[in-house]
Structure 1
Amino acid sequence: APVRRGAPGPRRTGSQPGALSPAGQRLADKSAKRRRRGWIVLTIVVVLAVLAGVVGWAFGPGPWGNVRIPEVAGKSVSQARQLLEAQGLRTAAATASRFDAVVTRGQVSTTKPAAAREVRKGTSVQIVVSDGPRMITLPAIVGQPVSTVTAALDDDFQLQDDRYEFSADAPKDTVIAATGVGTDGQTVDLAQVPEYGERGPVTLTVSLGPVPDVRGKTVADASTTLESVGLTLGEQTQRYDDSVPKGQVISAEAEGSPVVQGSAVNVVVSRGPTPITLPNVAGKTIDEATATLENLGLEVSVPECTNLLCRIGDWKSVLPVSSTDPVQGTTVHRGDTITLRYDL
């Protein structure tokens, strides 16, 4: 039997060679439609993808995209323009201005719209230049209670930590000085200017009152008094003093200027009256001896003369001293009494 090489294909009809049967022709037509439909779908997909890419580019990095306005505060106007235009933004030809307590006069304060806002590329942005801080008239400061000054300044300025120092001229808790910082960075005495920039730093110096007077106190009492106000007892020196008892403070002086808490106060402590070696006045008249001893700060006592001869003339001007009590060479002090002896 002959070998079959494959399944029989569609039966051809008619007299033309290669003509398909009706069923085969329908199958071929369906296949051709599917191919045409596939190409159409593919073409649509490609076109849509291209359109999506173009739209994405146009609204992304392209000319219709959104950008965030960069931060240009503190820059010069020319620098700000460069930064804005580099983002695809336009800068308005005319700038605006406003007071700014932070940004230096002449530099960019902000933009309209403000930094970080998202806008379309090509948006016009206006640069706002700083006029520096708004100047505010200062109230009375020096000599006023610190609580009053603080309340008056707190809303408009930046109050720094107060400084405290002792002052003999200002009561405790009153302001004795106020300083700020000028546009050139230099310290400004706010007691010497009528106005000062808004939000500028202000440092108040407040009085702690006078340094306590420790004269006449013992060293221990003086140390306790000074420590109670934050001062310390410094160097102690001694000297003779005829009016201040031994062991008491004659004078005190604080180290440094200004005097602040933690400063040392040096004291001079009395060693008592100045010692005097009693000189020899024997042989001098009573008047001469009296003058010599009184010039040394000593008191002089002369026993009353009861002799009849003493009633004749000025006996003290002629009668010589025979001895003293205490005797010559004895250590005495100012104010001590020396008794003069004499013989008739």
Structure 2
Amino acid sequence: METTLLDPVVGLVLEKRYRVERRLARGGMSTVYEGTDLRLDRRVAIKVMTEALASDPSFVASFNREARSAARLSHLNVVSVSDQGEDDGFVFLVMELVRGQTLREVIHENGRLSPEQAFAVLAPTLSGLSAAHRTGLIHRDVKPENILLSRDGVVKVADFGLARAVAGTGTTSVTSGVLLGTVAYLAPEQIERGNADARSDVYAAGIVLYEMLTGKPPYAGDSALSVAYQHVNNDVPLPSSKVPGIPVAIDELVSSATRRDPAARPLDAGAFLAELFDVSTDLAMTRVTVPVRYRESPPPANPGSAPHPRNDHRGPAAPDGTRAARTHRTAVLGTAGGRASDEATLSPGSVADGGGDRRPTTGRPGEVGQRSADQRSPGAQAPARRRQRTGRIVLALVLVLAAIAGGVGWWYGSGRYTVAPDVVGFAEASAVETLQEAGLDPIIEEVFSESVADDMVISADPEAGAEIMRGSTVNLQVSKGPERFVVDEALLGLAEADVVTALADLPIAVVRAEGFHETVPFGAVFGFDPAAGTELRRDQQLTMLVSVGPEPRAIPDVAGTTLEEAQAALVALGFVVEVREDFNRDVAVGIALGTEPAPDAGPQPFGTTIVLVISKGPDLVAVPDVMGKDQDTAIAELQAAGFVADTTSFLGNRVCQQSPPAGELAERGSTVSLLLSFC
């Protein structure tokens, strides 16, 4: 108390609002005081940073920024931050005043916890961290000192953002001494690279679970550097290696959270909480209360009397006036000078004497109060007994009526109200059980969620911490997992109109696109993008691919090939072949002359008719016999046969000689020579 009186901060009123009244705890970075918010007339905890940090502009800027982020976080399992400020060189944070113990004190006093007790502490811790992670806020310094257990059994996480604020000053290396007490919980990536995300908090929570189960952190060493080295290079041992009998499922849970590779850990505190509930369910673990005891001060002793034998259980006072074994950074209070013990203290004989003053009986001088019941006259004893019985009956009735009145008053006052527990992030069965134990009636609404796992509670109405009447309903939204829709593969190959009808009931955006396909007929659906069978989100776009037949292809050059070869080449490409034979004096019979259209006409649609021209060889005609015929007749007959007549006259007009001779085959259009004379 003397140190508190000498503390220059005690007695100050910061920013004309927060009166600092007594020191609660002191650490390497700050001192925590109990005080009063004069504006709202409420008790608060005030964390005042050390002078070294307060004089660092980079720290002050980071501290203010992190304080604002923490103040936006409202959750039953998080110590609320109500204000921050600077006053005459004092940088401070105003927080919720929590009365109870830190997890560090619980482990220090009780040793290791049972798995059920450890889970009872870790589940709400992860719930608070999960709420922070959902808003993008990372704790960075999860440890038993920052996990507070209030008297009413509520677990709260403290000091959000403080580690990050201090990190900005460059004073948080494992060799600097500032974080020697927290290196036991730092994730490897924090030690190696200074990086931290939600998975770093998961790692620290896994170390805390290990310590609760075994009574000690997994690593110890002569220096912070040696402990840090073990975090980076060793796998966290199984709790069962220290405490035989711990179930394999709990070993695996610790291992899952404390893997050195962040990518192998649960994604965030919510995912770790889901694993915790799975293990709890699989092991059929019984629900227990949070392992915290009341930390009461004894009632004031009467002047001159001996102290009451019931102690305040807070351990010996440290030299600086704070209690021993306080290594945490955020205040957790016993009731200093507070209310009296919950147990009534009765003086000897107070019940037999009826309490109050005893009036002396009337008698002779020197005999005041000396007459006992057996000295009274027999006639006086019966009325006395009746009066005694009557008095006892009246007293009993008064006590009963007082109890009834007190109960009724309690019920119609605060007794019929309860505080809605935090069940967000719980599995449905656990949430229902928790609410029913609190006297509340859960109403379940199953909804789809992109971010919350199946069967986990998304939200509760009223929210956690709300004061509601017992028996009231609490509406829970429970996740059905992501909402997904699947397109049936059986739709492939159907006509476009049939597919559109089949997709009409799905809440997705269907877009049409055309494409070539070698086997799916024109107008039929040959594919989807994303592919059929893929899970689609609501309103996600689905492209329906409609066939316009095979892709156009070039006409091959088949000239010089046989009829069979040319026809096969064209049919293989999907063309319809029509054969036509033409005479050709240069190309043998049965050899392809070419196609119509020709290859240089460009690609043609699938199924186009191609005319394949095949050579019939030269066009040969039998030369007619015009011997002895006059010139005009001979020429006419030759022209009719397709020949050209070439005549030579010699003193006459009749054909005396022809070449080629009659009956010989000659190419149509060729010349037949005639010699005209008198024959």
Q: Same fold, TM exceeding 0.5?
A: no
Q: Higher helix fraction: Structure 1 or Structure 2?
A: 2
Q: Higher strand fraction: Structure 1 or Structure 2?
A: 1
Bigger Rg, which one: 1
Higher RCO structure, 1 or 2 (CA under 8 Å, sep 6+): 1
What TM-score range do you get, normalising by the shorter chain?
0.3 to 0.5
With the length of structure 1 as denominator, give the TM-score of the two structures: 0.38
